[in-house]
Structure 1
C-alpha cells in the first residue's frame, strides 16, 4: 500500500510495500524523495528520461528538473501516484518471482 504524504520534491514520500527485503533489492528507502525515486527507478531499469516520461505521462525535461533541481516541480499528486505505481510493479514482480521458488 502506498500513500502520498507530500507533493514536494525534497520531502520524503512515505510509502510501504513488501518489506525490507525488497526495499534493499531495488535500492529504495521508505523515506526517499520524489527525485530519489525517479533516479533509482531509472537506474534500476537502465531507462532514459524519455522512456520513464512515457510510462508516467510526463515530459523528459519535467522529470529531469524534478531529479536535479532544488525546487518543487511536481505540482500534481497524480504524477507521484503514477511513479509509485511503477515502483510497485517492481515489488509485485519480485514477490511473484520469489513465490515461484517457495515450497
Structure 2
C-alpha cells in the first residue's frame, strides 16, 4: 500500500464520506422525517394487521362454536322430517303438509 492513500483507501485529496453530498443528504432533516414517517407507518400497519388477525380469530371461533352446531341440528331436523314423511307414505297415511 502506498503512503499516498489514507487507511480507508481513498485518495488524500478526495472528500470523505461524511463531507460528501450523499452523506449530507442522508443526514438531512427531510430524510430523517421520511425515515421516521416510514417507521411510524410500518408500526401502525403491524398493529393493524395484528388487530385484524385477532378479530378474524375471534369471529372464526365464534362461528364454529355458535353457528356450526346450529346448522348441524337444522340438518338433522330436516332429515328426521323427511324420514317421517317416507315412513308415513309407506304405511299408507296421506302425507301431511310441512309445518311452517
TM-score, structure 2 length as denominator? 0.28
Structure with larger Rg: 2
TM-score, structure 1 length as denominator? 0.27
The structure, 1 or 2, with the larger RCO (C-alpha pairs under 8 Å, 6+ apart) is 1
